[in-house]
Amino acid sequence: MQFAVLGPLEVVDGTRAIRLGARNLRIVLARLLCQPNVAVSTDSLIDAIWDRHPPRTAVKNMQVYVHQLRRLLGQHRVVSYPHGYAVHVDNGELDAETFEQLAGEGTQAVAAENVREGRELLVQALDLWRGPALADLAVVPALRAPIARLTERFLATVENRIEIDLALGLHPEVVAEAGVLVSSHPMRERLRGQHMVALYRCGLQSDALRVYDEGRRILAGELGVEPAETLQRIYLAILRGADPGPAIRRDPPPRGATKSSSVEPACGPAGPAYIAQLPADIPDFIGRLEPLGQMDAWAREGARIAPLLLTGGAGSGKTTLAVHWAHRYAARHGVGHLYVNMRGYSDDPPMQPIDVLSFFLRSLGIAPEHTPADLLDAAALYRSMLAHRHIIVVIDNANSVEQVRHLLPGGHDNRVVITSRDRLSGLVALVGVGRIEVERFSEHEALELLWRVVGEPRDDSSRVAGLDLARVCGHLPLALRVAAANLADGRYASVSDLVADVSDTGWPDALDLDSDANVGMKAAFDHSYHRLASDDQRLFRMLSLIPGPDFTADTAGALVSVPLHKATATVRRLVSAHLVEQLRPGRFSLHDLVHRYAREISSRLDGQPERDRGRQALYQYYSRGCDTAARVAHPHTPRMPSLAADHLDPGKVFAHHHAATQ
């Protein structure tokens, strides 16, 4: 039987993996395996599960767990003592003990000048690691100390093996691994020195000096101390252009040394050497200086900063901004990045948190068979994997708090960017997420994007037409890119022709692509609209009947004959979905393109009789408001008669009212 704690807890009987089941049962076994063949008191086991707040039935529950372990492992495996229990483990059955034995033998062999033999033993020891020690139980307070001891032994062994690799001249293979480990464990000065040596030997002197400066700032900021003398000596040697590392052995490296010179991706707490999942950056990225500055300031705020939410309407460029900034930050700091499109506004089903966690964990080096199927367990392992890493996580197109909540990692140095068309106010309330509203392009940015795609204008009339196009596109980046693509494809002879087409009262086909129905403003609005409840959809469609530039919740309620409190709630949901804009408290409007979209689907779905009823209700509301205002100004004004069905024209309404008040 094999007991494995160098990764998620596992027990294998021959070739059969034993399903340990409930979390409390795994905690008991993990606590016993931290001291194999040694009695652990019942009180310690109870504390491990309930952390000094046990229920009254704790002792009886413990007896049940011991009974279950004996049934799973065999009666002789769990031994009873007067005040506790022990798990019986034979030599070679516990991976942590095998690791210690191999690491110790490797260190002794190196000390005896059997360097290659010692290196092979160290590699065998490190190969036992499948991830962070007890990764699935890392949040249990009673296990933190033994996990920390195992992690320290892992890092010390990696450092010993890296030292041998440097002595064997394998510095090209060391650079990436050491860089990731230093990012995850910035206070380990020996590791930092080894990274500097590898960089210097690869001809990257300036990078090696930068790694030293970064370490010096961290030590000064966290501990108020200068780097150790050994690290300073390496730094000074690099400044002088002298090789600072161990002397390279000139005998050739053993066959296969290159392949095994670094830890395999799934073998240690650091995970894969480098993760790079962001989509390609847009080469003609335009403007956005203000939000980019806000994001840079957010990223500099220090340890444990809250995630950042980029929110805005369809086509406003949230994803483009997030990906561009993340690429820029990753290049500046040399960090990896995780990315997922949550498909919150798509024809495809939205991504589920457990599926995203499984994908992220595989990316971080956890083998599929070791990935927890339970959402909470997977989230705990994910947080453990990222607790000591510096990495960017971009969660794109999220549509709800529940989609995101379990994907937020802990740790000091992670930078998490979320994009959504919804304001996700629950994240602001629950975890203090910062929020940046991604606005439409300025006039200058809109024109710059247009000219980059279709070429600079040749005359003043083209410039004027460009301004008109930016206006009818509502300065939305997606609308401008699609319109520019249609121009570049020759669908229109000139910018003026396209503007004339878009200026028509119907839905502007120039803002969609013939070759891809999923790219364009109509598809973008469709995805937001179809996420609404049916009552919210109906009100949104009827808002297209409002003739003026803005409206109140009371006006919206009059359109569909619902009370003010219901209309207010619906309008707030539409604002949160960025289909309605709030101009100031109590007053709202529809963006011109959104208004045209609402009118198009209302004409298609509601039918003329329904629209006429809504329009009559709206004009009756206006008429009552005008009548009330007139009577306040002129108390003796006679009441305006009820509006008949043939008075649907707003001009007639106001003319009738004017005549009545003369």
Would you tell me which CATH number, out of the four given (3.40.50.620, 3.90.1150.10, 2.40.30.10, 1.10.10.10), belongs to the domain 526-660? 1.10.10.10
The secondary structure element, H or E, covering residue 137 is none
State pLDDT tens for residues 574-597: 998 888 988 889 899 988 888 888
For the domain spanning 1-168, the CATH number is: 1.10.10.10
Taking the domains of the chain in order of start, what are their residue ranges?
Answer: 1-168, 179-248, 289-437, 443-522, 526-660
pLDDT at 543: 92
Q: How confident is the model at residue 660 (pLDDT cuts 50, 70, 90)?
A: very low
Candidate from 55-59, 97-101, 246-250, 310-314 with smallest mean pLDDT: 246-250
pLDDT digits (tens, 9 = 90+) for 504-522: 667 877 888 776 767 778 8
Span 263-282, mean pLDDT? 57
pLDDT at 645: 42
pLDDT digits (tens, 9 = 90+) for 374-397: 899 889 888 888 877 788 999 999
- Give the right CATH number for 289-437 from 3.40.50.300, 1.10.10.10, 3.30.420.10, 3.10.129.10: 3.40.50.300
Q: Which of 166-170, 344-348, 531-535, 647-651 has the lowest mean pLDDT?
A: 647-651
What pLDDT digit, counting tens, does each position of 400-432 carry? 999 999 999 877 778 999 999 888 888 888 888
Pairs from 377-382 (Cβ < 8 Å, separation ≥ 24): 377/23, 377/136, 378/354, 378/406, 379/353, 379/406, 379/407, 380/136, 380/138, 380/139, 381/8, 381/131, 381/135, 381/136, 381/138, 382/357, 382/407, 382/409
Tokens 């004959």, residue located: 561
- DSSP assignment of 36-48 equals TTS-EEHHHHHHH
- Banded model confidence at residue 639, pLDDT cuts 50, 70, 90: low
pLDDT at 334 over 80: no
Q: Contact, 445 vs 284, CB < 8 A?
A: no
Confidence check: pLDDT of 157 > 90: yes
**CATH class name, domain 179-248:** mainly alpha
Region of poorest pLDDT, from 148-152, 253-257, 297-301, 324-328: 253-257
> What is the token pair recorded at 577?
């979905």
pTM: 0.54
Identical fold, 1-168 and 526-660: yes
